[in-house]
Every structure is written in C-alpha cells, then in structure tokens.
C-alpha cells in the first residue's frame, strides 16, 4: 500500500507558489484580478493588472495550470518578487489512474521501483536568459501605443541609480522620462534616438550588482529539480489518461462546464493583440476587446480603435437601418464627404498644404465624437468683484512662497463644490443609454494653450483641496504641459472640464463637451460693467465674468443647466458659501 500511495499524485504535488516579476518600480497596487480561483489558465495568459504612478502592467501566467489561491487582493500594495499566486501546474511525473487491475499493478510496480527517489519538487528560483549580472528591461506603459526616443541621458558604461532618468520619450501628448528600474552599470542601449518604440519593448541592458535575475515578465517561472519533461509531454500523457478514463472524464466535464466556458472567454480575450492601457480602457467603457478590430501594426488594437468602435456602436443604435454588427473604420473620419479635386488652379487658385501638429492629429478623433452629442450651451454672468479683491489681498503673500494665485483656482474650487451638490453634471452616460454613472470625486481637467495646441491636464479630487493647493498644482501642470512633460496619469480621468480663455478677449463661446463627460464650463475675459444696486438705488461698476456651460442634452435638461450655471455664479460672487 505504501508503494501504491507513492505512485499516485496528490493534490499538492504539482502546486507551486509564484512571485511577481520586476515591475520596473519599487512598489505598485493590485488594480484587478483578470481571472479567479479555480480557473484553468494557459502560460502567458494575463492574470492580474498591477498599476503604479508610471504604468499599468499585466502580469502573465508563468505556466499552464489551475489557479489554487490568490496570495494578494485587489487594492493591495505589492513589491517585486513578492509571492502572489499558487498554481497547480500540469506535472509530467504524474501517472494516469489505472482503469483496470493489470494497469494498476503495473503502476504500483513502477512506483515501487522508484520509491527511493525523492519526489519532484517545484522551486521559485528565477531563470535568466542573459549573462550573469545583466538584465534586459522593457519600456513601461507610456500611456500611448507608440512614441519616439527623443534623447538618451546616459551612455554605455555609466553607473546609474534606481529611478535615475535614462532617456526621454516623446509622444503626441507628452514627454516622459523613463527611469532606471535598478541600480547598476549600463551595458547596452537597445534603441537609438529617433527610433519609434512601443510599450514593453526592450530598451536597455543593465548590469546590476549581485543580481542574476532576468527582468522579463516570466522571470519567476518555477523549475522542477528532478523533472525535465516539457509541458507538451505532460499534455500528451493527460490526453492518454483522458481516453483511458472516458467515463470519469465525461462526469468531470459536466461538473466543470461553467468554468471551462469562462476559461475560454479569458483565453479569447488574452489572444487579442492589445496593450494594458487599451485593455483597461475597454473595461472602463464596457467594451468587449475581442469585438474591436485593430488598425495598428500587425492588427494591434489602439485607443482610437476602441473609440471608433464606441462611436459606431452609438451610430448603429441611433440609426434604425444600421447593421447590427458594427465594424471598426479604417481611419478616424468625421462623416463628411471627401474634398473636391483642387488640382485645377484655374478654379481653385494656388494652394499650400501644411501638416497638422501631432497634438492636433490625435485630437481630431475625440472632437469627432461631438457629432453624436446633442449639445446645448447655457450662458450667464458672475460678479467676481469681491473674490478678485480677495485674490489681490492674497496674491503678493503667495508670490513670496513661489505660488501664482490666479482666478482659475477660485473657479475650480467653487465648481467642484457645485458638482458635489449637483452630481448629475459629474457623471457619464452608460453605453446602453439607460443609466448615468456618477463620479464620487471631482477630477477637473483644465485647458492649457501650448505651441502645439490645447492640452488638458487633470487635477485629482479637487473637492478635497484648498485654494492654495489648487494654485500650486495649476502652475505645476501648466508648466509640464508647455514643456510636454505630462505623464499619462496627468492627462486622464477627468470627470468635468474647465476651459478658460483668460485675457484673450471675447465675451462668450461654445466649448465642446469632452466625451465621455457630460458638461464643460467655459470662462471668458472679465470686464467692468454697470450693475444696479437696489440698496443704494444707483448703478455701480462691477467686475463681471462671462460663463458658458455646454452640456449633453441626453443627460441634462435646460432648466437644470440654468440652475447649475447660476449656482456657480453665486458661489463666485461670494465664495464664503463654500464654507457653509
């Protein structure tokens, strides 16, 4: 019996604990698990989404097998090399259960022959495909599908410290400094200035002191000390076992039908060629990534493909004659017909073609969404005489501290307060047009004019911040925008936008709602105007600020828009109301 027991695999003989690979940062947060305990996964299938301030990274399965246990939960802060999952992988040393006495006897005899051999054990020692001490590192998630290497800040042979900037990468939206993931010596530069690169692409080899671990995403694969049989062999053995035990297999298939279906869905999504940022966007928008057609290189799905899919879905729903199946367009178009042929100079005269800036090009698909929004604009005036006097009293003191106190800081504060009182304006419309998704915090985007066009950085949780803190962050983000150094995180997540024209002139304008937001506040140049003072019985000069609120009429009606705009005007006239 002892020999027989040794020959039969136990439920833990193939279980192994796996550690997180090098994420490129010291610590990160578990954003969400993409699978659940009990699922069957394949090698390299995404398991969990890990997010840091710099990137979102999908950690793949190191082996094929069944998930036994999660060792970390969504929301946990984790570090490189930390145990995060237990997987029961397919073991080539497992013997199939004998279906008749003769096969069982043979199995027992074979087990008795090997009973003195130590059982196969799995260990979490990392493999390395690079020379000892050298590690190859991939680029983090840059927030865009591709970017250009602007310049290297180090050279081969330089000693670097962890988090020291290595190179500057520029995209249409921002310039990002990529830091060193470890301390060590730069051994090789894998990309050159001017190259176009993508997320995860290998870019540098660093010789880290005392380290032999590879920085690849599968660095934490376990190695069996006595078993060198490949997974394909194990699969063949398991297939033979299945054919021998058809009755048992049929019963198990019935009990695991739902799990198999879910595993197939996960496998289908895992096979889609899309990066972490795109997958996260599809989850936020409720889009099945496998339904989106990729227009990038080799069929890769880019963010514009997701937006185009949503746009065409909206069009299909709103047009009764549209086909049920929506296909992604080959290019971002506004729906307008092609331009006429302007080659005939006798008709059109001389023409000159000028390329749009990169920022203008990437903004066009977003602006095209306004075609599908029933947008209305509400106008009002705010008396900011008193708040401007308060700003004048404070600005010199703050200037000594290096803080530029603009009227925008006050506008942001009262707008955030107004949004908390009128949450419908701080929401999104669901894809099926049956619900509004209300944001519990106010993340305000504000337009900044740059040489390449308008950029909209985002300040998080404005409702929790004071005027001074807002003034500091406005100044910092505006400078980053002009220097093209905004990170992907600083450009996303807005729930409402403010577009201020400052002292550029004009009275009112119609700002465009930034989908999927449902409203935007436009602010024009203030001017001295006569206002009737009932107490004094005379006109007096007051500093008046024009307000223009554009809104999605599917979510907000005209009466609510008028009340909301007037509420902001009252708060600006007397910001002490915010303290009540």
Question: What are phi and psi for residue 446, nearest 5 degrees?
Answer: -140, 135
CB 494 within 8 A of CB 444: yes
Q: Residue 553 catalytic? A: yes
Reported residue count of the chain is: 580
Let me know the angle formed at the C-alpha of 114 by 112 and 116, rounded to the nearest 5 degrees. Answer: 95
Backbone CA torsion sign across 477, 482, 484, 485:
negative
Nearest partner of 334 among 368, 373, 370, judged by Cα: 368
User: Of these residues, 300, 482, 553, 566, which one is catalytic?
Assistant: 553
Quote the tokens at residue 331: 């290019």
- What is the distance of C-alpha 349 from the center of its chain? 47
Let me know the angle formed at the C-alpha of 463 by 466 and 560, rounded to the nearest 5 degrees. Answer: 130
**What is the C-alpha separation between 339 and 343, in angstroms, rounded?**
11
How crowded is residue 84: how many other Cβ atoms within 10 Å of its Cβ? Answer: 21
CB 172 within 8 A of CB 144: yes
From start to end of 406-526, where are the E strands?
A: 427-429, 436-438, 444-446, 448-450, 453-455, 458-459, 496-500, 519-523
Q: What is the DSSP string of 289-305?
A: GGGSPP-SGGG-B-HHH
Quote the tokens at residue 352: 């000159």
Q: What is the DSSP string of 35-69?
A: S-TT-EE-TT-EEEEEE-SS-EEEEEPSSSEEEEE
Q: How is the beta sheet containing 184-189 ordered, strand by strand? A: 134-138, 202-207, 184-189, 159-160
Let me know the angle formed at the C-alpha of 543 by 539 and 547, rounded to the nearest 5 degrees. Answer: 115
Quote the tokens at residue 286: 């409720």
CA-based radius of gyration for the chain: 30
Buried b (16+ CB within 10 A) or exposed e, 7-40: bebeeeebbbbbbbbbbbbeebebbebbbeeebb
CA dist list (Å): 524 to 179, 408, 426, 498: 40, 11, 22, 11
**What is the C-alpha separation between 486 and 199, in angstroms, rounded?**
17
Q: Which residues form the catalytic set?
A: 553
């Amino acid at each position: 019996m002892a020999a027989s027991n040794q020959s039969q695999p136990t439920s833990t003989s193939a279980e192994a604990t796996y550690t997180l690979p090098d994420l490129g940062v010291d610590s990160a947060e578990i954003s969400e698990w993409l699978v659940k305990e009990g699922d069957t996964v394949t090698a390299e299938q995404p398991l969990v989404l890990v997010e840091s301030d710099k990137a979102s990274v999908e950690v793949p399965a190191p082996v094929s097998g069944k998930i036994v246990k999660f060792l970390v939960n969504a929301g946990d802060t984790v570090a490189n090399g930390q145990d995060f999952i237990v997987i029961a992988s397919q073991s080539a040393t497992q013997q199939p259960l004998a279906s008749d006495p003769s096969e069982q006897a043979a199995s027992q005899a074979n087990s008795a022959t090997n009973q003195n051999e130590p059982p196969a054990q799995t260990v979490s020692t990392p493999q390395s495909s690079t020379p000892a001490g050298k590690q190859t590192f991939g680029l983090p998630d840059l927030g865009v599908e591709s970017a250009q290497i602007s310049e290297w800040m180090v050279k081969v042979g330089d000693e670097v410290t962890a988090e020291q900037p290595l190179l500057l990468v520029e995209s249409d939206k921002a310039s990002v400094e990529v830091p060193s993931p470890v301390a060590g010596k730069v051994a090789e530069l894998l990309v050159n200035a001017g190259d176009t690169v993508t997320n995860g692409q290998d870019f540098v080899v660093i010789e880290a002191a005392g380290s032999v671990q590879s920085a690849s995403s599968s660095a934490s694969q376990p190695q069996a000390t006595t078993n060198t049989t490949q997974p394909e062999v194990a699969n063949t053995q398991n297939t033979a076992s299945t054919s021998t035990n058809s009755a048992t297999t049929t019963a198990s298939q019935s009990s695991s039908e739902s799990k198999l279906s879910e595993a197939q869905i996960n496998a289908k999504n895992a096979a889609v060629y899309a990066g972490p940022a795109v997958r996260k966007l599809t989850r936020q928008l409720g889009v099945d990534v496998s339904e989106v057609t990729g227009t990038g290189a080799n069929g890769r799905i880019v963010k514009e493909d997701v937006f185009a899919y949503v746009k065409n879905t909206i069009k299909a729903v709103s047009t009764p004659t549209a086909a049920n199946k929506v296909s992604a367009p080959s290019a971002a178009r506004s729906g307008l017909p092609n331009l006429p042929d302007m080659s005939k100079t006798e008709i059109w005269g001389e023409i000159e073609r000028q390329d749009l800036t990169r920022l203008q090009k990437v903004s066009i698909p977003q602006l095209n969404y306004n075609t599908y929004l029933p947008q209305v604009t509400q106008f009002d005036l705010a008396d900011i005489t008193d708040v401007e006097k308060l700003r004048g009293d404070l600005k010199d003191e703050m200037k000594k501290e290096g803080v530029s106190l603009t009227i925008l800081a006050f506008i942001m504060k009262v707008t955030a307060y107004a949004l908390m009182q009128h949450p419908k304006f701080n929401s999104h419309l669901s894809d099926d047009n049956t619900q509004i998704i209300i944001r519990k915090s106010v993340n305000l985007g504000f337009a900044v004019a740059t040489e390449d066009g308008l950029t909209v950085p985002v300040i998080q949780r404005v409702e929790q911040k004071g005027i001074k803190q807002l003034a500091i962050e406005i100044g910092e983000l505006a400078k980053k925008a002009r220097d093209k150094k905004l990170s992907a995180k600083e450009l996303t997540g807005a729930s409402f936008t403010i577009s201020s024209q400052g002292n550029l002139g004009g009275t009112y304008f119609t700002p465009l709602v930034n989908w999927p937001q449902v409203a935007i506040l436009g602010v024009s140049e203030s001017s001295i105007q006569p206002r009737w003072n009932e107490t004094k019985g005379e006109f007096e000069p007051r500093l008046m600020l024009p307000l223009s609120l554009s809104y999605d009429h599917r979510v907000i009606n005209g009466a609510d828009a008028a009340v909301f705009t007037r509420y902001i005007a009252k708060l600006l006239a007397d910001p002490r109301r915010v303290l009540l």
